[in-house]
Structure 1
């Protein structure tokens, strides 16, 4: 979401309060990152590895969101997964990670992608429901991917590494949950019904992104 330039002091946190925070301010919680464990299968949490530190996407790192920011579920047995929602954090990656670990925030995403190198952090398991779409029905049936950056600075934040990593992630999610690789099922946060956010913004390159997704 586009916003005026933040004050010089604490720019990330100031913008994040306006664009991302729903509750209390971000806390200085330290992320515990575990070695990624690849999970195979098609989203069946009854048979997937549920050990601490396990991830759904090979190569991702684990850093748990606060349990207050998602709902434990057993997807796809209780809710089918048929959408992937693309977000932009309006903050740096460390700040977004701290926010999703803040129980007062009441929102999170399944994945967070770093701009500089495309590093993927998983914060909510795919079988659980992250509070990310701003629409309960869509939360139940979608997986959310946050991308580090600001929508009004695409040349700085929408990097080739981020696009490629996100495309590989989307292709993996789609394969696990039989999500069609089209713009009806891979959408921006702004396209969610009743959405109040504008991310990923008009300068997110959907044509380039979808071509990368389909080429994986």
Structure 2
């Protein structure tokens, strides 16, 4: 988690006209082709932008119930609205990533700072050493957890109690409970349990964080996630 994990937007690259001489006919063809391509790009951009705001019109957003959770058995502990952005995922933003974090502290301290509006960061979930799971932000919404706006919009963030330099932080109960949660997320959004789609905070572009650190056992974790996916379905989280 660290000091802050808000949203940082990346820049867009550009491209110029190809170099070299061209006949007037060729120039006209390039211009017309470029114009058609530009119109197509504008159309796609407009459609994508429409996805991001249509749900805000009355009656279009998904129904919400106070205290409702996305992972069965998780305990609801609401983050401050300043630490996430209301959305309607996956209708407006596709979800295809899980980002694994380590708190650098306790379960209780993570939930405390997520409730603090001045913190400007929160993850969707926090997993305790004994396997208990708290949900602080609905998966519908964009939590400020990765330090990268595009990753925030496409991912679910899971914090884990403990410290990156203390391997004893990562208990059997924590691995099992977190793996069941990640499998549930993969199943619901339809993306695979692999290292492209289940990543550490350290792998997010532009981050200065190192979690989950060298002691997080990725092979073990993904084996557990895949075993859960082969099972009959989500099981209750420890309460």
TM-score normalised according to structure 2 size: 0.71
Aligned pair partner of 1:208 in 204, 214, 220 = 220
Q: Tell whether 2:135 aligns with 1:128.
A: no
2:200 to 174, 188, 202: 188
Q: Secondary structure of 2:210's match?
A: coil
Aligned position for 1:177? 189
Question: For residues 203 and 92 of structure 1, what CA distance do their matches in structure 2 show?
Answer: 17
In structure 1, stretches of 5+ residues that fail to align are 1-18, 24-44
**CA deviation vs aligned residue, 1:145-169 (integer Å, no higher than 9, x gap):** 00000011111x1000000000000
Which residue matches 1:10?
none
Q: Deviation at 1:180?
A: 1.2
**Is structure 2 residue 171 aligned with structure 1 residue 153?**
no
Q: Does 1:95 align with 2:109?
A: yes
| Shift, 1:50, TM fit | 1.4
CA drift at 1:49: 5.5
Asked if 1 retains the 8 angstrom alpha-carbon contact of 2:127 and 2:160, the reply is: yes
Q: How does 1:1-216 map to 2 (within 5 A)?
A: 20-22=2-4, 50-115=64-129, 117-155=130-168, 157-216=169-228
Distance 1:147 1:97 in 2: 11
Structure with max Cα Rg: 2
**Offset of 1:20 from its aligned partner?**
1.9
CA distance in structure 1 between the partners assigned to 2:137 and 2:88 by the alignment: 13
Shift of 1:56: 0.3
Structure 2 residues not aligned, in runs of 5+? 6-54, 229-239
| In 1: Cα distance, 2:63 partner to 2:179 partner | 24
| Matches of 1:109 and 1:201, distance apart in 2 | 18
1:179 Cα deviation from its structure 2 partner: 1.8
Cα separation, partners in 2 of 1:133 and 1:22, compared to 1, 3 Å: closer
**Residue pair 2:61, 2:88 contacting (<8 A) in 1 also:** no
Q: CA deviation at 1:195?
A: 1.2
